[in-house]
Structure 1
């Protein structure tokens, strides 16, 4: 039951993020590393990926699609980590320290947890929990 609740929470998180990537891309463009080609298109495509991943996660009919969505969202979270690191570095370089360590450190710690959570709630992994016999 706990896994199902967290699956819905994660899907809602990704659906909201996907919406904002499409509706208000400027904030995401501001933290995009300079080496990313076609940054606006990347932001829009990441929004679509988040929405599709969220939908795939909560659909009730195809367990394999749920696992694929979980793997896709985990890979997505891994791939956007450089933008989060870029945001951390550029924000902390500001004279006022931007959002500060109280925002950025938990965000950096949360990233691997979000990656694992996408895999766990989708049933891709049971680690570190043992299945019940």
Structure 2
């Protein structure tokens, strides 16, 4: 079986920690939500569950886990763009720099997720 790369572990750990954070303390993520999105708390919970499923899928080498993980990253990218643009006017340089650094970081995360090893026969948790 193919060994996991460091990048694959980075995605697994980042998604695991972030997913738990979204579920344990969803209010901590409210300020990151664009005003044009409805159901902020519900979407925070949903993204936390999606991140945990992605991390579990990558660990278990589910066949569709890399695609699902990339889809999750693409789904949250517009909100990250909104946050980065919105942070320019808030006067907090540190927050703005972090917000802008997150955007290009998603590209290697997508690549590492996509390149994560899978078991072609393992379609779902029960397989």
Determine if the TM-score, normalized by the shorter chain, exceeds 0.5.
yes
Indicate yes or no: 2:30 matched with 1:29.
Answer: yes
1:98 deviates by: 5.1
In structure 2, distance between residues paired with 1:107 and 1:2: 27
In structure 2, distance between residues paired with 1:116 and 1:39: 28
1:31 deviates by: 1.0
In structure 1, distance between residues paired with 2:21 and 2:29: 9
Indicate yes or no: 2:96 matched with 1:95.
Answer: no
Greater length-normalized contact order (CA 8 Å, ≥ 6 residues apart): 2
Deviations 1:100-123 (A, max 9, x none): 33x233211111221121101245
State the aligned residue count.
Answer: 118
The residue aligned with 1:109 is 104
Question: Normalization by structure 1: what TM-score?
Answer: 0.77
In structure 2, distance between residues paired with 1:35 and 1:27: 18
Question: Normalization by structure 2: what TM-score?
Answer: 0.80
Task: Quote the RMSD (CA, aligned, Å).
Answer: 2.1
Alpha carbons 1:92, 1:98 under 8 Å: kept: no
1:23 deviates by: 0.9
In structure 1, distance between residues paired with 2:58 and 2:13: 10
Unaligned runs of 5+ in 1: 124-133
Unaligned runs of 5+ in 2: 119-127
